[in-house]
Amino acid sequence: MELSALQRVRYTYKPKLPGSLSRPVTEIAVQLGNPTESISDQDALKARFKETYGKPLAAFVPGRNETISRRLSVGVILSGGQAPGGHNVIAGLYDGLKKGNPGSKLFGLLGGPSGLIDNKSVEITGPMMDAYRNTGGFDMIGSGRTKIESPEQFASSLETAKKLGLDAVVIIGGDDSNTNAALLAEYFLSRGSNIQVIGCPKTIDGDLKNENIEISFGFDTAVKTYSELIGNIERDANSAKKYWHFIKLMGRSASHIALECALQTQPNICFISEEVEAKKLSLGQVVDQICNSVVKRADNKENFGVVLIPEGLVEFIPEMKKLIDELNDIMANKEKEFSEQGSFHAQTNWLVTQLSDPSGYLFKSLPEEIAKELLMDRDPHGNVQVSRIETEKLLMGMTESKLRDLKKTGTYKGKFSALGHFFGYEGRCAFPTNFDADYCYSLGFSAFVLIASGLTGYLSSVKNLVAPADQWIAGGVPLTMMMNMEHRHGADKPVIRKALVELDGKPFKAFAAERETWSVKTSFVYPGSIQYYGPAEICDQPTITLKLEKL
């Protein structure tokens, strides 16, 4: 493997640890609090998790730990989409195990949860670990989106863990993956096995957070990567002064990425999906907001600008959500009739007879390429793959059309040229920031302490993240504490609740207080590239969102 100059130097970076984890491992004790409750649906979850419900919060404090030096064998899984820092979680776990007992072993389950089901693993050795420290990506052991959900899959997982002689399994993933971790911990105990399960909070989307999980790892690096690109485009727009850039950003279920990037770069417009849904804005009203900014800026001779769009915006526009739901139902129940329609034109005419009048009208008003995406690009369950809808092109086309109408009335006299972008994969495997490198390493080391202390059904937790790393507070949160019951695929299922953008929260309020100015006046901020070496105020700073929430 060819190494860049940066990668060679990043190998030498020593991640910072919280003070509670920096002492000799035999002096790291676990302090347990009072029993906990889930965020809702307590009775249903207590019945579902008979073995693991109600566990106490765990904190690491000075004290003797008699079990921490026992020899352990642990399996680790990278689950779901990539996020910067995953390799450092594994590094923190590996180093903790070796400090506890040099004879301890760490096995990487290959390809995600399927590695546990199918018994595909590799022992992680020192040289192998050293080749991935402080790097992005999940290529060390690979990831996957397989869910452990059938009785056969649970049984196979337990069988693999026994064959490998594992004392514990660590699952590094998002809300769904850590829900799986909770179910696996419950299953092992219910089958009389003492194999422990610990989770680690990962997702660049930022929607796995709560009172005890201040941020999911990877978010910091991803938003700073996107913000650099947005800032570069803003500077280009301000230089050329002739293009409007429509930028779609990852974040299907929540708009944390878009909000943080807006706070960092101050674009002319940024939509927050949660607000669009709360205000029940129509697609036309969303377009009107863009046009208002374009018209006012044109009056100032500024025929350029930047619009940020969350990936999942269309699902939060009530009329679009209704259309998508109706299309999913039609495709599920009348796929044969749809397939018998010859051309796209014939398919459209047939669909309009099946849709409700408002949805039929909306469907016919969409640009043809977007309508085709709604029909043709479907997942294995027959549902629209919303993340692949080119929302930026939809809004560009509708804005252009509306501006033509405004020009006819004399309301608009400017020029409009639009360019579309989608920033997604660019941020998922970037070299982790110092913050993510430190945070992830601490999460992995914390997972080791939880395992060595005999705990199961916990999510590794590191808090007080706006302070310097030596003041961070490490511990563990019971997975059931973050759960509620949701109706999915025809049944009520336990899930870790996603954290959406809070419209009464400080980050959104800070954005809302300035956006009217940004929409008219060029107020761009150019964050520049991620810095790894230099003053802490440049290299180690957390996100603006986290600082607003916690300071």
- Catalytic residues, which ones? 205
Nearest to 459 by CA among 208, 104, 100: 208
Distance, in Å, from the CA atom of 131 to the CA atom of 407, rounded to the nearest integer, reads 59
Side chain identity at residue 307, one-letter code:
V
Distance, in Å, from the CA atom of 347 to the CA atom of 371, rounded to the nearest integer, reads 11
Identify the H or E element spanning 58. strand 56-62
Identify the H or E element spanning 477. strand 473-478
Burial of residue 543 (CB within 10 Å: 0-12, 13-18, 19+) is buried
For residue 388, the cross-strand partners are none
Distance, in Å, from the CA atom of 471 to the CA atom of 442, rounded to the nearest integer, reads 12
Three-state secondary-structure class, residue 307: strand
Nearest to 305 by CA among 544, 515, 529: 515
3-state helix, strand, coil in the chain (%, to 5): 45, 15, 35
CA-based angle 429:430:435, to the nearest 5?
115
Burial of residue 107 (CB within 10 Å: 0-12, 13-18, 19+) is buried
Q: Please list, residue by residue across 77-88, b when 16 or more beta carbons sit within 10 angstroms of its beta carbon and e when fewer do.
A: bbbbbbbbbbbb
Distance, in Å, from the CA atom of 498 to the CA atom of 251, rounded to the nearest integer, reads 12
Q: Please list, residue by residue across 2-14, b when 16 or more beta carbons sit within 10 angstroms of its beta carbon and e when fewer do.
A: eeeeebeebeebe
- DSSP assignment of 159-202, as one string? HHHHHTT-SEEEEEE-HHHHHHHHHHHHHHHHTT---EEEEEEB
The phi, psi pair for 478, rounded to 5°, reads: -60, 130
Question: Would you state the structure tokens that stand for residue 522, as one six-digit string?
Answer: 């060029």
Q: Which long-range contacts (CB under 8 A, 24 or more apart) does 321-326 make?
A: 322/356, 322/358, 322/359, 323/355, 323/359, 323/362, 323/363, 323/374, 324/374, 324/384, 324/386, 326/354, 326/355, 326/356, 326/359
- Total Cβ atoms within 10 A of residue 396: 24
Judge contact between 55 and 478, C-beta under 8 A: yes
Distance, in Å, from the CA atom of 205 to the CA atom of 314, rounded to the nearest integer, reads 17
Q: Which residue, chain included where needed, has tokens 């995406």?
A: 373
Identify the H or E element spanning 75. strand 73-79
